[in-house]
Chains A and B, each alone.
Chain A
Amino acid sequence: MALQSLDIVRRSATTLPEPQVRGAHTGQVAKLIDVSKCIGCKACQVACMEWNDLRDEVGSCTGHYDNPADLSAHSWTLMRFAEYENPKGDLEWLIRKDGCMHCADPGCLKACPSPGAIVQYANGIVDFHEENCIGCGYCVTGCPFDVPRISKQDKKAYKCTLCSDRVAVGLEPACVKTCPTGAIVFGTKEDMHQHAAERIEDLKSRGFEQAGLYDPAGVGGTHVMYVLHHADQPQLYSGLPEQPRISAMVGLWKGMAKPLGLLAILATAAAGFLHYIGIGPNETDEHDEEAARRELEKTP
C-alpha cells in the first residue's frame, strides 16, 4: 500500500507525470529464490499468510504436494512440485516457489484500465492498490506468469506485494525472513546478481552445466529471480515460461488499440465538426414539426 518512502514511478491508466525527485539511489530491490537450496517446506507460504492476514480454505489433496492447489486471492505464494527424470535416468524433484515476479515492465500494470489500481515503486516493486481496483481482470490477462487472482468475496485483484509494507521500513519480505535454508534472499538487484553468480558456480561444480539465473528480458527483467539448475529449461519447473512476454492482447489494447480508439473518437468528433462547417447544423422545418405533433397525439 502507498507509503511515503515508496515513491510511485508508474501508475496504471494515468498519464500524469509521477514525482521524480526521490529515487532508489542504493539500487532497486530483488528477491532471489535459489531453487537448488529449497526443500519445499512451505514455511514461506505460512509466513505470507501470517504477515498478510490471509487464511485460505482448508482444501483437499489432489495427489500432489501443492497445497493449496493453486494461487488464490488468499494464497499469494505457493510451492509447486515437479518430478523430472533427467537424461541420466536419475529423478529430480524440482520445487519452485510461485508468485508475483515483479516485472520491470509489468504486464498487469499496462493492462489495467483503472487509474492507480496498479503501481510500480522506485525500488521496483509492483503493487496492487485494491481500493482503486474495479475487478475487470485485465491484469490477469496481462500477466505473463498467470499470477493475479480475483477475489470471489470483493471482486478485486490480489497478488504478492513483495511485502512492500515491510520493505518500506527496512525489513525483508516475510517469506525471506522465515526461509530456514536461506533459499530465499533479498537485497539490491545487483547484490542478488552477485549472490546468484556464486550459487551458479557451485551448481556447475556439481554437474549442473546449464545452471543459471532466471531474470527474463522479455519483461524487462524481474525483481523476483530464480537460480535454476536447468536454466535452459525453465518449463521443467512447473511451467515457468521460457520467454515470458506481455500478452499480445495487452499490446493491442495499450499499443495499437488505444491510439486507434482515440483515433476513432477524434474521427467522430472531426466528422461532426466537418459536417457542421461543410453542411451546417441540422435544422427542422414546419413539416417535420407537424409530423412530430401527430406522433405525440397517437400515444395514450
Chain B
Amino acid sequence: MTNHWVDIKNADLILIMGGNAAEAHPCGFKWVTEAKAHNKARLIVVDPRFTRSASVADVYAPIRTGTDIVFLGGLINYLLANDTIQHEYVVNYTDLSFIVKDAFAFADGLYSGYDAAKRSYDKSSWDYALGEDGYVRTDPTLTDPRCVYNLLKQHYARYTPEMVERVCGTPKDKVLQIWDMIASTATPTRAMTIMYALGWTQHSIGSQMIRTGAMVQLLLGNIGVAGGGMNALRGHSNIQGLTDLGLMSNLLPGYMTLPNEKEQDFEAYIAARAPKPLRPNQLSYWQNYRKFFVSFMKAWWGDAATADNRWAFDYLPKLDKPYDMLQAYELMRQGKMNGYLCQGFNPLAAAPNKAKLTEAFSRLKYLVIMDPLATETSEFWKNHGALNDVDASAIQTEVFRLPTTCFAEENGSLTNSSRWLQWHWKGAEPPGEARSDLEIMAGLFLRLRALYRKDGGAFADPIVNLTWKYAQPHSPAPEELAREYSGGALKDLADPKDPTKVTRKAGEQLAGFAELRDDGSTASGCWIFCGAWGPTGNLMARRDNADPTGIGQTLNWAWAWPANRRVLYNRASCDPSGKPFNPQRALVAWNGSAWGGADVPDFVAGENPAGGMGPFIMNPEGVARFFARAGMAEGPFPEHYEPFETPLAANPLNPGQAQALNNPAARVFADDLAAFGKADQFPHVATTYRLTEHFHYWTKHVRLNAIVQPEQFVEIGAALADALGIGNGSRVRVVSNRGHIEAVAMVTKRIKPLTIEGKVVHTVGIPIHWGFLGVAKPGFLANTLTPFVGDANTQTPEFKSFLVRVEKV
C-alpha cells in the first residue's frame, strides 16, 4: 500500500477493483465501513462477480475478467477529454510535460522495437528526449505533440465508453455513472482510494492493470494524500515481508536487484542502479544504492566483504534468466532441476496446471517439505482416487516431510499491507517434533559449511565466509536476525561535518538508513528496514495507538518502512509552495524552515519548496511517470491484451494484428502454449478466487473453518445453468484443456452473462481451498484447470482468466 489500512477511513470514494476486500481482508475492511459510516464515503465495486464486497457497495458493475485496462483506459480518456484532472498536481508532480524521443512509436498494438521471435522489445526508443544540458526537455504548456500528455491522450482516445461496453461487457450507463463519481475526486479536497489484490496481479497483463489504476490516481491527484493511494492488499500475513526481504529470485533485500550475467563489473552494476537526476535539483534517492548495497554485503559476509574484493560482489549469482516458480517447474519437468526444498509452500495446489506439476515433481530426485501441515505437495506421489490419480510405483522421488512451527509458535515480525513491521510473541509451544524454519535452515547450513570446509568444492567462499555470529549457531534467535536486518555500526562513525564527533559507536544499532555508508563501516541486512530495531530497541514491538491528529496516523504503533513513514509520497499532499491541498487531512507541510506534521515527511526535511524538488524522490526525474520509460516489459503505456485463453478471436482494440491478441512480451514455454484451450471447445470464461471462510489450503485442516464452508463448489450464473440444465446443488464437471474438476454447482444471480463483441459470454467462478487432505470434504485442486503462463514482468500466473467447459455430471 502507498497508504495504510487505517487511512482508508479518510477516503471520500473507495474503488475496489481487482480484489474483493470484504471477502479476503474482512478485518481491514472495517476501515471501509468506517469511511462509509463516518466520512460519508461511497463504495464502488467492479468485479466479474457480485461479491461480498459488492453486497455493501453503493454501486456495482460487472466486468469480463482480464479486461480492466479497457475500463481504466476508458476512464483516462474520459478524464482527459472532460479535463477533470488535478491540474496543479499533474503539471508539477508528473511527467505529463516531458518530451518523448521521436523514435518512440505505437502502432497496431505494438510498440517500437518489437522482436516477435524473442517475444521481447528493444526498449531504447522508450525514453524521454534529453536537452543539451543533459536534462529531459519539457513543455509546461502541454502543447508539444511529443509531450507525455499528448501521447497519453492519443493512446487512450481509442478507449471509448462504447469500446468498454464491447470488450468488458459492462453496461455503458454503469460505466459512465462510475466514471462520473471517480472524476469528482479531481478536486484537491476529495480523495479516492483504490484497493486491489490478486484480481489484478494474477493476469498476463497484471502489472499493467495496476499501472493503469495508478495513472488514474495521478490524474486525479490522489497519490500521496490521506484517503488516497494505490493500495495493494497482501493476501498472506507476511507476503509483504517476503518481497521486502527479497525472496523473489531476482531480488536482493530492500528491492535491490541481483546482477544479470552481463553485469560482471561492480561499478557498472552500481551505476545502472544509481541514476543521476534527469531534471535540475532532483534528489534521485537511488543514488545512495552503493551505501545500501555495501551495508547489505557487510551484513551477509562481514569481514570477508572488503573494498579490495568489491564487497564480495563475486559471491552473488549472476542471473542468465529469471528463476521464478514457473521457470523452476519447467526446469524440473525438463529434468534440469532435480532437487527441491519447498518451504511454507504447497505448489501442487497453489501453482497452475497440476498435471504439469505432478510430472515435474515426479522427475525430482528429492523433495523436502518444510510445513506445519501435511500438504498435498508432500503426497503428490500418493494415489487419492480421482482427486489425485497417480501411480505411486512409477514415481521414484524421495520425499522428506519436516514439520515446522507455525507463526503463533515463535517470536518474530510480520509485515502487513500497510508496510508495518509488527513484532509478535510466541503464543504456544510447537507440537511433537516440529522445529522452526530457522533451526532447520541453520542445521542445513552448518552441515553444508562443514562439508565445504572439509572437502572444498567449486567456489566455496560464499558458503564458508557467510556471517553466522549467532549465540546458538544451530538456532539463531528471531531477535538476532531482526537486529541484523535493521543494522548497526561496525566502527565508530564520525560526523561528516565534524570528524572529531562520533555519531554512532561501533556495535550500536542504527536509527535509520540515512546513517548507512558505502565504506564498509555499517551493516544492514535490509536497508528499508533500517531503524526497525534502533538504538532505543525494538520499535516493531510498540503498541501505542495514540492518534493525535485524528486521521489515523499512529506513528508509535509498531514501525513502518521506510523510516516509520505511513503514507508514501506525502510531499505530494501539498501544493508546490508546501501548503496542504486539503487542510482537513494534512499529512505534512512546510513551515518556512522545515517539513513536518502528522507523518514522517517523504522528502528532504529542510528542502525549501522554492527549489522545485519533486515529491517522487525515488525517480531521477523527481516526478511520477505516466510514461514508464523502459520499466515495463510490454510498453510504456498500458495497452489491453486479451488473456492467453480468450473467448475472442481478435483483440478488439487492435483487430488487425494477430501478435497483439495476447501480451506480446509474456514468456510462454512451448508445451504450455500447446496446452492452451480454444473458445470453440471451451466456451466459458473462468476465474479462481478465495472465500472468506478459508485461508488458502491451510484451513481445510481446521474443523471450525470446515464447518462454515465444508465442500467444494463452483459458481455458475442462472442463465448458464438453465441452458445446461444444471440444478442448484447438483454436481458438475468443469473441464479445461489441462484437466477437470468436479464440484457442487452453486447457481446464482450474482454472475450475469455478459455480451462481448455481440456474443454472450458466461463466467464460471471457481473457489480454491479444497484438496485431498484435511478435515473438510475432500475435493479437487482447482489449479488442475489453470494455464501455465504469467505476467510479463513478475511471472505471476494467470489464475484469474482462462477458458473452461461446464458439463452436467
| Chains A and B are bound partners | yes
Q: Give CA–CA (A55, B40) in the complex, Å.
A: 40
Q: Assess whether B704 is in contact with A50, with CB atoms less than 8 Å apart.
A: yes
Within 8 A of B (CB), among A108-156: none
Given contacts A36-B56, A39-B26, A63-B728, contact A181 B707 (CB under 8 A): no
Q: What is the distance, in angstroms, from A196's C-beta to the closest C-beta of chain B? A: 12
B residues less than 8 Å from A60 (CB atoms): 710-711, 744, 777
1/0 contact trace for B734-769 toward A, CB 8 Å?
Answer: 000000000011111110000000000000000000
Q: Assess whether B712 is in contact with A55, with CB atoms less than 8 Å apart.
A: no
B residues less than 8 Å from A55 (CB atoms): 703-704, 707
Q: Assess whether A58 is in contact with B777, with CB atoms less than 8 Å apart.
A: yes
Whether A13 is near chain B, meaning CB under 8 Å from some CB there, is no
Task: Point out the residue from A36, A68, A181 that lies within 8 Å of B26, measured CB to CB.
Answer: A181
Whether B304 is near chain A, meaning CB under 8 Å from some CB there, is no
Q: What is the distance, in angstroms, from A69's C-beta to the closest C-beta of chain B? A: 10
A residues less than 8 Å from B30 (CB atoms): 180-182
Q: Assess whether B55 is in contact with A92, with CB atoms less than 8 Å apart.
A: yes
Task: Point out the residue from B34, B53, B706 that lies within 8 Å of A58, measured CB to CB.
Answer: B706
1/0 contact trace for A193-207 toward B, CB 8 Å?
Answer: 000000100100110
Q: Assess whether B26 is in contact with A90, with CB atoms less than 8 Å apart.
A: no
Q: Assess whether B53 is in contact with A39, with CB atoms less than 8 Å apart.
A: yes
B residues less than 8 Å from A50 (CB atoms): 704
Q: Assess whether A61 is in contact with B744, with CB atoms less than 8 Å apart.
A: yes
Q: Assess whether A49 is in contact with B707, with CB atoms less than 8 Å apart.
A: yes
Q: Assess whether B746 is in contact with A58, with CB atoms less than 8 Å apart.
A: no
Whether A43 is near chain B, meaning CB under 8 Å from some CB there, is yes
Q: Assess whether B52 is in contact with A41, with CB atoms less than 8 Å apart.
A: yes
Q: Assess whether A58 is in contact with B713, with CB atoms less than 8 Å apart.
A: no
Given contacts A40-B52, A46-B708, A180-B29, contact A58 B703 (CB under 8 A): yes
Within 8 A of B (CB), among A162-204: 180-183, 199, 202
Whether A273 is near chain B, meaning CB under 8 Å from some CB there, is no
Q: Assess whether A205 is in contact with B749, with CB atoms less than 8 Å apart.
A: no
Within 8 A of A (CB), among B491-541: none
B residues less than 8 Å from A95 (CB atoms): 52, 55
1/0 contact trace for B759-802 toward A, CB 8 Å?
Answer: 00000000000000001110000000000000000000000000
Q: Assess whether B729 is in contact with A62, with CB atoms less than 8 Å apart.
A: yes
Q: What is the distance, in angstroms, from A50's C-beta to the closest C-beta of chain B? A: 7
Q: Give CA–CA (A169, B585) in the complex, Å.
A: 40
- Max chain A CB contacts within 10 Å: which of B707, B728, B729, B730? B707
1/0 contact trace for A101-112 toward B, CB 8 Å?
Answer: 000000000000
Q: Assess whether B50 is in contact with A93, with CB atoms less than 8 Å apart.
A: yes
Task: Point out the residue from A42, A57, A58, A83 that lies within 8 Å of B693, measured CB to CB.
Answer: A42
Q: Assess whether B707 is in contact with A58, with CB atoms less than 8 Å apart.
A: yes
Tier of interface size on chain B? 35 or more
1/0 contact trace for B10-35 toward A, CB 8 Å?
Answer: 00000000000011001101101110
Given contacts A55-B703, A63-B744, A90-B60, contact A40 B55 (CB under 8 A): yes
B residues less than 8 Å from A41 (CB atoms): 22-23, 26, 52, 692-693
Q: What is the distance, in angstroms, from B635's C-beta to the closest C-beta of chain A? A: 37
Within 8 A of B (CB), among A1-58: 36-43, 45-46, 49-50, 55-58
Closest Cβ neighbor of B704 among chain A residues? A46
A residues less than 8 Å from B730 (CB atoms): 63
Task: Point out the residue from B23, B42, B745, B750 that lies within 8 Å of A83, measured CB to CB.
Answer: B750
Closest Cβ neighbor of B36 among chain A residues? A202
Whether B54 is near chain A, meaning CB under 8 Å from some CB there, is yes
Q: Assess whether B709 is in contact with A39, with CB atoms less than 8 Å apart.
A: no
Whether A64 is near chain B, meaning CB under 8 Å from some CB there, is yes
Q: Give CA–CA (A205, B777) in the complex, Å.
A: 44
Whether B314 is near chain A, meaning CB under 8 Å from some CB there, is no
Q: Give CA–CA (A60, B778) in the complex, Å.
A: 11
Q: Assess whether B60 is in contact with A39, with CB atoms less than 8 Å apart.
A: no
Contacts A41-B22, A59-B711, A67-B710 aside, 10 further interface pairs with beta carbons under 8 A come to: A41-B693, A55-B703, A59-B710, A60-B711, A63-B713, A63-B728, A68-B708, A85-B749, A182-B30, A182-B37
Which 10 interchain pairs have the tightest Cβ spacing?
A63-B729, A63-B728, A61-B711, A93-B55, A39-B22, A61-B744, A41-B26, A181-B33, A180-B27, A58-B706
Chain B residues near A (Cβ < 8 Å): 22-23, 26-27, 29-30, 32-34, 36-37, 40, 42, 50, 52-56, 58, 60, 692-693, 703-713, 728-730, 744-750, 775-777
**Interchain residue pairs with CB less than 8 A apart (12):** A41-B23, A42-B692, A46-B708, A60-B710, A60-B744, A61-B711, A63-B744, A90-B60, A91-B50, A181-B22, A182-B34, A205-B40
